[in-house]
Amino acid sequence: MARPKSRFLRKPVEPFAVTGGLTVDEALARMERISFQGRNLATARRIWEKMLSSDATIFLGTAGALSAGGLRLVIAHLIEHRYIDCLVSTGANLYHDLHETRGRRHFIGSPQIDDAALAAERIDRVYDTLASEDEFAKNDEWIATFALKLERRPYTSREVLYKLGEHLWNETGNPGILTAAYHAKVPIFCPAIADSSIGMGLSQARHRDQTAGMVDVIGDIIESANIVIRKPSTATIVLGGGTPKNFINQASVQAEFYDDRVGGHKYAIQVVTDVPHFGGASGSSLEEAQSWGKLSVESEKVTVQADVTIALPILVSALESTSREAADKRKRPEFDPSGRLLVMNGQPLADNRYQEP
């Protein structure tokens, strides 16, 4: 008699079958039954679908040169159609978004171009992508001019970015991350704003008027944790690691400090190329995050080891085919990020004290 099959050997790998005319959605469905990162990418779609059918507040973190690299309208799409509820971003992604929303472009180059030749022509290189330094300088001035119109008081990055999106929309009417967030009233946090050209623009505002350009990043910490306290069901999608990854986790950890009901994110997707074994936060595993309480020990989670410029177009194209309605109909928080206090579901969140549970 045949030895009974091991409990480990229940679900066979199904070899990917090639057919012409396959949609991205269908291709990803077939990849669920293969192995390694192909399977993980396919699993990420399923977990995102679960986020959308849950009542979780969905945080998206964006690091790496996603906007310069051609993904800004994907992120804008996620915001506009509310596949996500709150964006945490590096400054660079917002800055390169602004650059294009203002009508400028990034250009297709190559990593083999001689950098001294580029420097001589004042062209900046991001791996295989190029942009004009002079146009960047004009962006900085444009940001400084914008900042000088603000009141002379501290603004959280969330508030200043809302105003920036509004101003950009009024001036350009163009799509992009900042303008989509303005329309959809999706809050954007930029905890490392001082490490970006947006921060540089704000510093130039202060150079012109010594009382301008005060950003209250500590207020951002409190606001983001209060989003979690207000509704402890949360999910995190991280593209590329960096400060957004930790900031989203920190919101949960900090919230739990003041509210026992908070128990870490319920769903987690990360698309990273960094690895755990050097100890850095960008590459840290989602299992490790459970030890900290950043993720619930029961969370559904997946790490996809892939470049975001491959993974995100695939993932979002597939989601758009299957989950657009789910994104529309889901139980999602509604924000008003236009004022000094962030309003969530009709009620303001403090930026100077942690909410009562």
Q: Give, in order, the Cα–Cα distances in Å from 244 to each of 60, 151, 181, 247, 332.
A: 8, 27, 17, 5, 21
Strands 129-132 and 123-126: antiparallel
Cβ-based nearer residue to its own copies, 55 or 207? 207
Cβ-based nearer residue to its own copies, 6 or 173? 6
Strands 342-344 and 347-349: antiparallel
Q: DSSP secondary structure string, 189-206?
A: E-TTTTSSHHHHHHHHHH
Cβ-based nearer residue to its own copies, 236 or 282? 282
Task: Of 3, 181, 196, give the one whose Cα is nearest residue 75.
Answer: 181
Residue 180 CB, shortest distance to its own copies, in Å, is 12
Cβ-based nearer residue to its own copies, 49 or 195? 195
Cβ-based nearer residue to its own copies, 51 or 304? 304
Six token digits for residue 60 = 């998206």
Residue 162 makes CB contacts below 8 A (sequence gap 6+) with: 181, 182, 187, 188, 337, 338
User: Angle between the 72-80 and 177-184 helix axes, to the nearest 10 degrees?
Assistant: 0
- Catalytic sites, residue numbers: 294
Residue 299 CB, shortest distance to its own copies, in Å, is 11
Residue 51 CB, shortest distance to its own copies, in Å, is 17
Residue 142 CB, shortest distance to its own copies, in Å, is 14
∠ CA 127-130-135 to the nearest 5 degrees?
140
> 3-class DSSP state for residue 340?
coil
Residue 171 CB, shortest distance to its own copies, in Å, is 19
Phi/psi for 172 (5° steps) reads -115, -30
Asked whether 160 and 85 are in contact (CB, 8 A), the reply is: no
